Amino acid sequence: MKILVTGGAGFIGSHLCDLLISKGEEVVVIDDLSTGSLENIAHLNSHPRFEYHVDTILNTDLMDLLIAKCDCVVHLAAAVGVKYVLENPLSSIETNILGTETALKTANKYGKKIIVASTSEVYGKHMHAPLKEDDNLIYGPPSTMRWSYAASKLVDEFTALAYYRTKKLDTIIIRCFNTIGPRQTGLYGMVVPRFIQQALRDDPITVFGDGTQTRTFTYIDDVTTAIYKLLTCGKGAGEVVNIGGTEEITIADLAKKIKELANSNSEIVFIPYDKAYGKDFEDMMRRVPSVEKLQALTGYAPETSLDEILLKTIEYFRAKAY
């Protein structure tokens, strides 16, 4: 198969390219390097089954050309990361809504299967667990910019589902929960790379809020495996599917665990949300996925334990000499 990976120079995208190449597939990447980097795909550059284009997914002519020559699309290109979205609210909404509309419209024009990446953010402020794909969604007001990320991704989901219902477009929406591993940068707010780099430098580990908020973390290879299985299983058209680990941990305990696993002397400090993110910020206090649907469709669910995920990621940052 020839597969277009939008956002293929990003953290998840570049690992997906590695997996696809290892499976013998042909890979075409489009990435505007807004949060991705050429370094992530440098090792693939001379591969005969790999090509990349540095451009935006808003370039409709190029998207037309690339989708026409591929068999299917994995659409990962998006504004990602709470910090990034808060700092770039307008361009984030444009990329997420208009870019996805272009990807879906063009995939539909050529009748190509497309996986659309959404996010666990769309669940909003739930306190129950696990979160299932047909749960209600709960957001704060639009003055709290964080929710624009969820709302823009939700528009993507509605658009994809509308293409499925009205045009029978073969599309699957994936809601990725916090994904962790090598090549992820802490620059856009992601907690694990930030904590690990702070721990390895013996800098204070910065827990935002009181640290009682929880997350589950998924190893990058588990996420790319799940995406590949959804791409090839022949099932799931018109479905929304969670991809995530299920080991829940508070952010305060995560800080302690990373400090311990990295043998760090860091102090753990608590920073109020308004100091970390500015005014009008609201956190999601709990986020745990149900992976029943993923399991039912593919016979697979993420399996790497949290300790293993953290140790592998610490190893990566240590090797990078942070």
Stretch that binds ligand UDP, among 5-13, 71-79, 186-194, 311-319 (CB under 6 A): 186-194
Distances (CA, A) of 265 to 144, 207, 253: 36, 16, 16
Residue 45 sits at the vertex; the CA angle it makes with 39 and 50, to the nearest 5 degrees, is 125
Of positions 251, 268, 301, 310, contacts ligand UDP by CB under 6 A: 251
**Residue 17 within binding range of ligand UDP, rule CB under 6 A:** no
Mark whether 149 is an active-site residue.
yes
CA distance 73 to 59: 16
- Shortest reach from residue 198's CB to ligand UDP, in Å: 8
Structure tokens at 137: 């969604």
- Shortest reach from residue 42's CB to ligand UDP, in Å: 26
Of positions 86, 207, 231, 314, contacts ligand UDP by CB under 6 A: 207
Residues 8 and 50: beta-carbon distance below 8 Å = no
Stretch 255-314 residues interacting with ligand UDP (CB under 6 A): 283
Of positions 189, 245, 289, 302, contacts ligand UDP by CB under 6 A: 189
Stretch that binds ligand UDP, among 27-35, 85-93, 205-213, 258-266 (CB under 6 A): 205-213
37 versus 185: smaller Cβ distance to ligand UDP: 185
Of positions 213, 218, 242, 266, contacts ligand UDP by CB under 6 A: 213
Contact pattern from residue 39 through residue 78 relative to ligand UDP, giving x for each residue in contact according to CB under 6 A and a dash for the rest? ----------------------------------------
Of positions 82, 150, 176, 262, contacts ligand UDP by CB under 6 A: 82
- Shortest reach from residue 6's CB to ligand UDP, in Å: 21
**Residue 215 within binding range of ligand UDP, rule CB under 6 A:** yes
Identify the active-site residue in 139, 149, 163, 188: 149
CA distance 3 to 231: 10
Catalytic residues: 149
Which positions touch ligand UDP (CB under 6 A)? 82, 178, 189-191, 194, 206-209, 213, 215, 251, 283
